[in-house]
């Protein structure tokens, strides 16, 4: 009798490197597995040299990361990936173009996160979006939320600048996070009537882990992506565990 085909998850990573490694750890920690063979097999391409996504979205004269990500997607397909994930919300600005160059499905972190909110957050009507300036200016979360009948709010200019400092000047730079500023931004969105807040940047997911945040009104996009990846790869999701 032939064995079942092994399903492989391709990880188009390096955007950024820390979030990529944390994503892989999440997949492992959130999989209900008693032995190695019950885990998801992953092909991880942690390509840290990919051009900055936000810089290009805000200024098209900056280097375009799309050709690099498209080639990486092709590499992952050639290596045998059955699904591909990109553990970066901002990179999903290029989702359609990257998906067009490969035959395997790219799991969309933004779509899956919004569906998760719609299906699991009771009475959610208005969602606060924490994300990079690139993601916010692209409107990717705003459009997806509206498509699913949800309202949204984004941080004001001062809070967006503070959030960019947290993402780029602190998490990506490996420095201590200004956690008081992080919570102030979230609370400002809640004061605007948001029922929940989405961490729409995977560097913010690292904060979620490092500070052991246990707030059901905060939805971590990276945890959502990890759980969907486990499910699509035919493995079991561990119950009663939020993250690592």
**Are 84 and 135 in a shared domain?**
no
pLDDT digits (tens, 9 = 90+) for 11-38: 999 999 999 999 999 999 999 999 999 9
Q: Which residues pair with residue 85 across a beta bridge? A: 11, 107
Q: Which pair of tokens denotes residue 37? A: 């063979």
**Are 16 and 90 in a shared domain?**
yes
The closest of 79, 50, 83 to 67, measured between CA atoms, is 50
**Are 48 and 97 in a shared domain?**
yes
The total domain count for the chain is 2
Catalytic residue among 192, 194, 196, 201: 201
**Are 147 and 102 in a shared domain?**
no
Question: Does the N-terminal peptide bond of residue 16 adopt cis geometry, omega within 30 degrees of 0?
Answer: yes
Residue 184 lies in a domain: yes
The C-alpha atoms of residue 112 and residue 107 are separated, in whole angstroms, by 8
**Are 100 and 114 in a shared domain?**
no
The C-alpha atoms of residue 23 and residue 27 are separated, in whole angstroms, by 6
Residue span of the structural domain in which 69 resides? 8-108+225-232
Active site residue 88: yes
pTM score of the predicted model: 0.94
Residue 195 lies in a domain: yes
**Are 117 and 173 in a shared domain?**
yes
Question: What was the pLDDT predicted at 243?
Answer: 46
CATH of the domain at 56: 3.40.50.1860
**Contact residues for 115 (Cβ-Cβ < 8 A; gap 6+):** 148
**Are 99 and 136 in a shared domain?**
no
**Contact residues for 155 (Cβ-Cβ < 8 A; gap 6+):** 128, 129, 130, 162, 163, 185, 188, 189
**Are 17 and 85 in a shared domain?**
yes
pLDDT digits (tens, 9 = 90+) for 45-65: 999 999 999 999 999 999 999
Catalytic residue among 88, 194, 196, 233: 88
Report which DSSP code applies to 172.
T
Active site residue 194: no
pLDDT digits (tens, 9 = 90+) for 166-191: 999 999 999 999 999 999 999 999 99
Q: Which pair of tokens denotes residue 140? A: 């990717």
Question: What was the pLDDT predicted at 121?
Answer: 87
The closest of 141, 242, 157 to 194, measured between CA atoms, is 141
**Contact residues for 169 (Cβ-Cβ < 8 A; gap 6+):** 175
The C-alpha atoms of residue 223 and residue 226 are separated, in whole angstroms, by 5
Report which DSSP code applies to 104.
S
**Are 123 and 217 in a shared domain?**
yes
Other CB atoms within 10 Å distance of the CB of residue 134: 21
Count CA atoms within 13 Å of residue 12 on its CB side.
Answer: 36
């Amino acid at each position: 009798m032939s064995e079942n085909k092994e399903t492989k998850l391709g990880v188009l990573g390096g955007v950024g490197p820390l979030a990529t490694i944390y994503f892989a750890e999440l997949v492992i920690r959130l999989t209900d597995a008693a032995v190695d063979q019950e885990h998801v097999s992953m092909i991880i391409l942690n390509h840290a040299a990919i051009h900055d996504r936000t810089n290009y979205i805000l200024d098209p004269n900056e280097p375009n990361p799309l050709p690099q990500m498209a080639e990486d997607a092709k590499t992952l397909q050639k290596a045998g990936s059955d699904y591909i994930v990109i553990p970066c919300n901002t990179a999903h600005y290029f989702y359609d173009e990257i998906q067009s160059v490969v035959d395997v499905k790219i799991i969309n972190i933004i779509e899956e996160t919004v569906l998760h909110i719609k299906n699991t957050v009771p009475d959610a009507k208005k969602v606060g979006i924490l994300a990079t300036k690139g993601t916010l200016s692209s409107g990717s979360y705003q459009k997806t939320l509206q498509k699913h009948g949800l309202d949204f709010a984004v941080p004001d200019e001062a809070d967006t600048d503070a959030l960019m400092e947290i993402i780029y000047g602190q998490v990506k730079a490996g420095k201590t996070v200004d956690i008081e500023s992080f919570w102030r931004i979230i609370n400002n969105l809640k004061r605007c009537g948001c029922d929940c807040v989405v961490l729409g940047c995977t560097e913010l997911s690292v904060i979620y882990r490092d500070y052991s945040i246990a707030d059901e009104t905060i939805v971590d996009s990276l945890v959502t992506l990890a759980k969907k990846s486990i499910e699509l790869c035919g493995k079991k999701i561990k119950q009663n565990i939020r993250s690592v």
